[in-house]
Amino acid sequence: MPQFAYKAMQRDGVLIEGALDATNRHEAMRQVELLGLKPIRLAESGATRAPFNAARNGGRSPTADGVAKPNGSPADAANDAPLFGLKLGGAKKITPRMLENFTRLLSSLLAAGVPFSRALVILHREAAAPVAKQKWKEIHDLVIDGMSLSNAMARSPETFPRVYIAMVEAGETGGFLDVVLAQIADFQAREKELQGKVMTALMYPAILLVLAMGVLIFLLVFFIPRFQLVFQGFNAELPLLTQMIVGVSEVVRSYGLLLGAGIVVAVVSLRNWFKSEKGRRAWEGMVLRLPTIGPLIAQFAMARFCRMLGTLLGAGVPLINGLNVARRSIGNQILVDAVSESIDRVKEGKPLGTSLAQNRSLFPGAVVEMISVAEESGKLDHELLRIATVTESDLDRQLKTVVALAEPLMLFLIAALVGTIFIGMVIPIFSLQDHIK
């Protein structure tokens, strides 16, 4: 029977080397992992002094992940090599589509029983985009070094959102990472579908808005000044609305470039401010106070919190630990702070329903009552999942209504803007005959 030499990491992070008998490489990998080790290198032992003889692997040498790669180049040289000597441009960062594919494939591999380290190797090896290959390899190396998957992902906040990391941490805590990853992938798909519906619904009004702004600028810069000269020749006094339009025209013609530069500077400054802790809290608080959007965001946060907590409790995670993880999946820091206060009350020994009742902006009275009853009957995990499912269904209906109303609302605003300009120019024309007489 062939003998395989391995280099692996113990639970305490100590590297060890050894050898074992196995029928093939896959069986050897499985035996190493059954010993509670994380395999780093694995190859069939040879007759030479080199522990990993490339000749016995058909001219292929293993990399640190134990997967044989062609000799004469780095592990990823074949996939990263330029085409016909030219390095083609690619994506500069991980796209949502790449992240969704990574999440769904990792979930499928784990659900199929593929060892965790092996699944990460497959993901980084099969990635098509160089940026994705590099990022997945980085995650793989951090995990091999003994770091948890959630902590490894937290090293790249530009790629993995806070909610994503919190859900992965929940999966690791409860021992159902494959299930959580599948939920994340489904969530990403629903979010992408929703964004597609919104963009499709707003495309036609957006085109009209661009055309309307073009027409407006043309009227303000070229037409209205000539229109103003005509009335000045008759010594006519323009109506107030027309005077306001003429005033805007003069400002645009005299300070248009400065106004444009000021708008750009203001947008960049606001964007940078919103990225800060203070600015982000101010923005999230303002969004929560919006008439229609605010309640939708609060409902969505509640559904996400209930689903996460219900899943954790169903897996046997203690309530306090589950609350600490689930609150991070909310996304809005204002709501996270409110839930943190409720968690402090639970730590003091108060029931969960009573503690959440203090946060009416996130948990309505009916939801609090259902949670209290379920807590008394010992069915809290099932009730939380049911609340999440019902809330998500209601959110889908509300979002469809909001998207359906957005198009006519924007069309109305565009019509009002253009109509105001048109009326402001037409009103003086009716009095032009009197001035001519």
Q: Does residue 79 lie in a domain region?
A: no
> Which residue among 186, 202, 225 closes a domain?
186
Judged on CB neighbours under 10 Å (0-12, 13-18, 19+), 327 is buried
Compare 290 and 432 and report the one with higher pLDDT: 290
Q: Does residue 67 lie in a domain region?
A: no
Using CA atoms, how far apart are residues 162 and 158, in angstroms rounded to an integer? 10
pLDDT over 90 percentage in the chain: 2
In this predicted structure, the answer to whether residue 93 has a pLDDT above a threshold of 70 is yes
Contact in structure between 391 and 303 (CB atoms under 8 Å): yes
pLDDT over 70 percentage in the chain: 79
Together in a domain, 170 and 250 = no
Together in a domain, 263 and 317 = yes
Together in a domain, 5 and 138 = no
Using CA atoms, how far apart are residues 240 and 246, in angstroms rounded to an integer? 10
Element (H, E) at 132: helix 130-144
In this predicted structure, the answer to whether residue 59 has a pLDDT above a threshold of 50 is no
Q: Does residue 89 lie in a domain region?
A: no
Q: Does residue 83 lie in a domain region?
A: no
Mean pLDDT of the chain: 75
Helix intervals (H) in 82-176: 96-111, 116-126, 130-144, 149-154, 162-174
Together in a domain, 253 and 133 = no
CATH classification of the domain holding 122 = 1.20.81.30
Contact in structure between 149 and 96 (CB atoms under 8 Å): no
Q: How confident is the model at residue 370 (pLDDT cuts 50, 70, 90)?
A: very high
Q: Does residue 71 lie in a domain region?
A: no
Q: Which amino acid is at 30?
A: R
Q: Does residue 45 lie in a domain region?
A: yes
Together in a domain, 333 and 210 = yes
pLDDT value of residue 207:
81
In this predicted structure, the answer to whether residue 173 has a pLDDT above a threshold of 60 is yes
pLDDT value of residue 40:
59
Using CA atoms, how far apart are residues 71 and 64, in angstroms rounded to an integer? 14
pLDDT value of residue 187:
73
pLDDT value of residue 355:
86
Q: Does residue 66 lie in a domain region?
A: no
Q: Which amino acid is at 181?
A: L
Counting other chains too, the contacts that 198-201 makes at CB distance below 8 Å and 24 or more residues apart are 198/403, 198/406, 201/403, 201/404, 201/406, 201/407
Compare 373 and 285 and report the one with higher pLDDT: 373
Together in a domain, 341 and 292 = yes
Together in a domain, 279 and 360 = yes
Residues in the chain: 437
CATH classification of the domain holding 14 = 3.10.20
Of 2-11, 136-145, 332-341, the range with the lowest mean pLDDT is 2-11
pLDDT value of residue 265:
92
In this predicted structure, the answer to whether residue 84 has a pLDDT above a threshold of 50 is no
Which residues are 13's β-sheet partners?
Answer: none
pLDDT value of residue 189:
80
pTM of the complete model: 0.58
Compare 371 and 23 and report the one with higher pLDDT: 371
In this predicted structure, the answer to whether residue 5 has a pLDDT above a threshold of 70 is yes
pLDDT value of residue 57:
36
Instruction: Give whole-number Cα distances, 129 to 85, 250, 339, in Å.
Output: 17, 52, 40
Using CA atoms, how far apart are residues 125 and 399, in angstroms rounded to an integer? 39
End-to-end CA distance of the chain: 114
Compare 217 and 435 and report the one with higher pLDDT: 217
Beta-carbon count within 10 A of 383 CB = 20
Together in a domain, 111 and 2 = no
Structural domain of 40: 1-57
pLDDT value of residue 399:
76
Q: Tokens for 275, please give them.
A: 């990225």
Q: Does residue 143 lie in a domain region?
A: yes
> Which residue among 186, 204, 227 closes a domain?
186
Together in a domain, 160 and 295 = no
> Which residue among 168, 186, 204 closes a domain?
186
Together in a domain, 323 and 413 = yes
Together in a domain, 273 and 361 = yes
Most confident of 10-14, 78-82, 196-200, 270-274: 270-274
In this predicted structure, the answer to whether residue 185 has a pLDDT above a threshold of 60 is yes
Together in a domain, 435 and 367 = yes
Compare 22 and 79 and report the one with higher pLDDT: 22
Q: Looking at the 3D structure of the chain, how many domains does it have?
A: 3
In this predicted structure, the answer to whether residue 55 has a pLDDT above a threshold of 60 is no
Compare 376 and 334 and report the one with higher pLDDT: 376
